[in-house]
Structure 1
Amino acid sequence: MSHTNRTASFFGGVVPGSVADLELAYGIGDALGAAGFVLQHGGYNGLMEEAARGAADRGGQVVAVSLDGMEWGEFNPYISSSVHLPTMGERLHRFLDGADVVIALGGGVGTLHELTAALWYAGNIRPVPVWLCGPTALRLAAFLREERWLFESPTRPLSFLCEIADLEGFTRALSALVAAPSAVSAGVR
């Protein structure tokens, strides 16, 4: 994986759960921009805007991935370019097929849809690292595990999944990914 071709797909909502989530989103974008990743997400406000601002502050490229004909409002001011696709399936494939890492924070139904697609994709198509970051995402992961929506089995390993509590953990995971991209997420908490 070359330094200039790495891509991170970021899933986070327009209504942040807390100021801490906003700060984490900015820090994640900042770290990705510093590491040379292209950041792609829906392009809107809230957590997406903070991640985009962090990446842009480091000179990073930020791509909005949206649907043709959907009027969800203006993209945030940190977007470098945009891609409009005809179907939700194509949009999800754009997020997942070329991603070197998928990062999810809290959000609404749209974020949940993107995250569950990423979990299925990573468990069935290609084990792209999926990182659940921050307290909101970790509470969701705990709920999904408790209710048996998310579990590991011999035919469905979860080695692609990493639960990250804070920016320090994210920075460690990102450093490990950059140093050894095939070491998906093992052992990083």
Structure 2
Amino acid sequence: MNALHLAGPATSRAREGLTAVFFGGVAPASTEEEKLAEEIGRALAQAGYALLHGGYNGLMEAAARGAASQGTTVTAVTLIGKHDEWGAFNPHASMSVHLPDLGTRLNHYLDHADLIIAMGGGVGTLHELTAAVYYATTIRPVPIVLAGPATLRLLAFLREEKWLYETPTRPLGFLSTAESADAFRSRLTALNTAPIGGT
């Protein structure tokens, strides 16, 4: 049973069907990381993306704030029966989707993503990111951008320990990094001007 809820009027500038998914934790490591998340949200909206995110606070809220400031649709994706336990959505969510279990929630993110952005977080964010990387290597090479120092350190560790490596049958061309808001904007421009089917 899926439930879709409108959380207030939304003025969407997003192009039909173009959606970015943002994964990030509830406890930003620094004010700089929080500012980066907000700039990423703003850049996504300016490039024509609607935003899907967890709907709660921290980096999610910062990205949602940036996206909402540009008038795009910001959708919170949560679980049926957990909303009261997890708390209120951040004030920037214009819509919400309530799903029955974690697997359905994760599949909703991945199936709707034209672009995935991951920043630092806890084990939930780690689960979302690793699922997205596996999805991109096996199902559909949706572009994934790792942004900020925490995910860059994680990527270095995964490569060093051979948890993540490229093979002819598992190319990693979908994966890129952004250390700053300017780097993210450059990557976004490259993605939006790539040939159809390219990353």
TM class, shorter-length = over 0.9
What RMSD over aligned residues (CA atoms) do the two structures have, in Å?
1.2
1:140 to 154, 157, 161: 154
Q: Shift of the alpha carbon at 1:161? A: 0.6
1:177 aligns with 2:191: yes
SS in 2 for 1:158: coil
Matched, 1:8 2:23: no
Q: Report the TM-score, using the length of structure 2 for normalisation.
A: 0.89
Match of 1:64 among 50, 65, 76: 76
What is aligned with 1:113? 127
Gap regions ≥5 residues in structure 2: 1-13
User: What percent identity do the matched residue pairs reach?
Assistant: 58
Aligned partners of 1:133, 1:144: CA distance in 2, in Å?
A: 15
Contact preservation (8 Å) 1:102, 1:129:
yes
Counterpart-to-counterpart distance in 2, 1:26 and 1:179:
23
Q: Distance in 2 between matches of 1:179 and 1:130?
A: 16
Cα offsets for 1:35-64 (capped at 9, x unmatched):
221100100000000000000110011000
Q: Any conservation in 2 of the 1:176–1:183 contact (CA below 8 Å)?
A: no
TM-score (normalizing by structure 1): 0.93
1:139 partner SS: helix
Question: In the TM superposition, what is the alpha-carbon distance from 1:166 to its structure 2 partner?
Answer: 1.0
Residue of structure 1 in register with 2:38 after alignment: 26
- Residue by residue over 1:58-79, the C-alpha shift from the partner in whole angstroms, topping out at 9 and shown as x without a partner, is 0011000011111211100000
In the aligned structure 2, how far is the partner of 1:168 from the partner of 1:4?
Answer: 26
- Distance apart, 1:183 and its partner CA: 2.9
> Where does structure 1 lack aligned partners over 5 or more consecutive residues?
185-189
Helix, strand or coil at the partner of 1:84: strand
Counterpart for residue 136 of structure 2: 122
1:18: how far off?
1.1
Do the aligned residues in 2 keep the contact of 1:40 with 1:62 (CA within 8 Å)? yes
